Structure 1
Amino acid sequence: MNRAALTASAVVADAASLADEAGFDAVTLSAVARRLGVRTPSLYSHVRDLEALLDGVAALALAELAARVADAVAGRAGRAALEGYATAHRAYARDSPGRWQSLQRRAGDAVVRSEAARETVALARAVLRGYPVPQTEHVHAVRLLGSTINGFLALERIGGFDHSEPSPEASWSRTVDALDALLLAWPAAPRDRKAPL
């Protein structure tokens, strides 16, 4: 790449490509610099440090994922929206494994406060509007969706389902069914519990 064309977005995009090709752990400043044909110190004009570069990859991944989810849930409600939401996550994890891994780490403030992060939460809440989940319970429901989907995908990525029947596809479908049933029968918020005497 021509040095004159080197920008922060180009550095992050190359790091994201490296993550998909070799795994997120392979992303280092020196590895990205080699790919771009520059010396490592040249990158500091575009990214503050390694953490900023990794956050850049996560922000890029979050924006791409949000776009996919938006397409998958558009015009749908209830189980159809839930399935679109979950399947968009699964497809992104398969298509862009390194970028997906970037979302499985504690993100910096720039990522957490990004437009993509707000859009991701808004999309999850849009799915919940098709269910009788009170708005006061949305945080819990969004966390449930995220932990269930991410947990399944993490186990699938490491081959955790490869040694037994039925297939992961069958389990994925049942997982979406179970989430749908749970959201349809969301439990009432617990009353304040007093500590036992």
Structure 2
Amino acid sequence: MVRAGLSPERLTREGAELADEVGFDQVTVSALARRVGVKVASLYSHLKNSQDLKTRIALFALEELADRAAAAVAGRAGKDALAAFAEAYRGYAREHPGRYAAARLRLDPETAAASAGVRHAQMTRAILRGYDLTEPDQTHAVRMLGGVFHGYVSLELAGGFGHTAVDSQESWAWIIDSLDTLLRRRAAA
């Protein structure tokens, strides 16, 4: 590949593509150097180390995912917003499994506070306002939705639902319906 045009941004994008191809846990500065056709030392003027690269990929993935989720929920409310939000996450994970894994990277508090992760929480809370949840129920619901979506997507990506005749899309729709019912009942309680 051509050496010209190396920058932290380009290396982050290349690293994100590499993560989708080989898995986020396999992304290293050495692997990235091979991908872009340069010696490892050439990358250290743009990246500090492999952790820096992984953090950059995680921030890139969080931003992409937040943009996708925001576009999906725009103009929607209630169950429609919940389903669109959930499907944005699921679709992103299916299309970009390495980036999705990167988005789960534990960031230091300062980096996390400045990341698009804050937008994810704000969008989730905006959706939950349609259910009239108050604190602490809203915080519990944010955590529940994150756990359910991530758990389902992780199991699905690992091939965990191929052993039954029931289609995983059917189960996904059932889960969204169940979450909507639970949130409406909780708000009414």
TM range (shorter): over 0.9
Per-residue Cα deviation, 1:134-174 (whole angstroms, up to 9, x for no partner): 14432211111100000000000111110013111110001
Q: Which runs of 5+ in 2 are unaligned?
A: none
Q: Secondary structure at the match of 1:161?
A: coil
Shift of 1:41: 1.8
Going from structure 1 to structure 2, the CA distance change for 1:153 and 1:168 (only over 3 Å counts) comes to same
Task: Give, in whole Å, the separation in 2 of the partners of 1:130 and 1:33.
Answer: 47
Shift of 1:44: 1.7
Task: Give, in whole Å, the separation in 1 of the partners of 2:60 and 2:121.
Answer: 16
AA aligned opposite 1:19: A
Contact preservation (8 Å) 1:16, 1:98:
yes
Q: Secondary structure at the match of 2:186?
A: coil
Q: Which runs of 5+ in 1 are unaligned?
A: 190-197
Q: Secondary structure at the match of 2:105?
A: coil
Match of 1:98 in 2: 98
Shift of 1:87: 0.4
AA aligned opposite 1:42: S
Contact preservation (8 Å) 1:132, 1:186:
no
AA aligned opposite 1:26: Q
Q: CA-atom RMSD, angstroms?
A: 1.8
Contact preservation (8 Å) 1:111, 1:117:
no
Matched ranges for 1:160-175 at <5 A: 160-175=160-175
Shift of 1:23: 1.4
Match of 2:59 in 1: 59
Task: Give, in whole Å, the separation in 2 of the partners of 1:170 and 1:3.
Answer: 47
Q: Secondary structure at the match of 1:6?
A: coil
Identity %: 44
Task: Give, in whole Å, the separation in 2 of the partners of 1:160 and 1:101.
Answer: 17
Contact preservation (8 Å) 1:55, 1:108:
no
Contact preservation (8 Å) 2:55, 2:105:
no
Match of 1:49 in 2: 49
Q: Secondary structure at the match of 1:5?
A: coil
Task: Give, in whole Å, the separation in 1 of the partners of 2:47 and 2:32.
Answer: 11
Task: Give, in whole Å, the separation in 2 of the partners of 1:115 and 1:52.
Answer: 15
AA aligned opposite 1:10: R
Task: Give, in whole Å, the separation in 1 of the partners of 2:58 and 2:108.
Answer: 9
Shift of 1:74: 0.6
Q: TM-score, normalised by structure 2?
A: 0.93
Decide which structure has the larger Cα Rg and report it: 1
AA aligned opposite 2:101: Q
Q: Give the aligned length.
A: 189
Match of 1:76 in 2: 76
Q: Secondary structure at the match of 1:185?
A: helix
Match of 1:142 in 2: 142
Matched ranges for 1:1-40 at <5 A: 2-40=2-40
Match of 1:193 in 2: none
AA aligned opposite 1:85: F
AA aligned opposite 1:82: L
Q: TM-score, normalised by structure 1?
A: 0.89
Task: Give, in whole Å, the separation in 2 of the partners of 1:79 and 1:188.
Answer: 15
Q: Which runs of 4+ in 1 moved over 6 A?
A: none
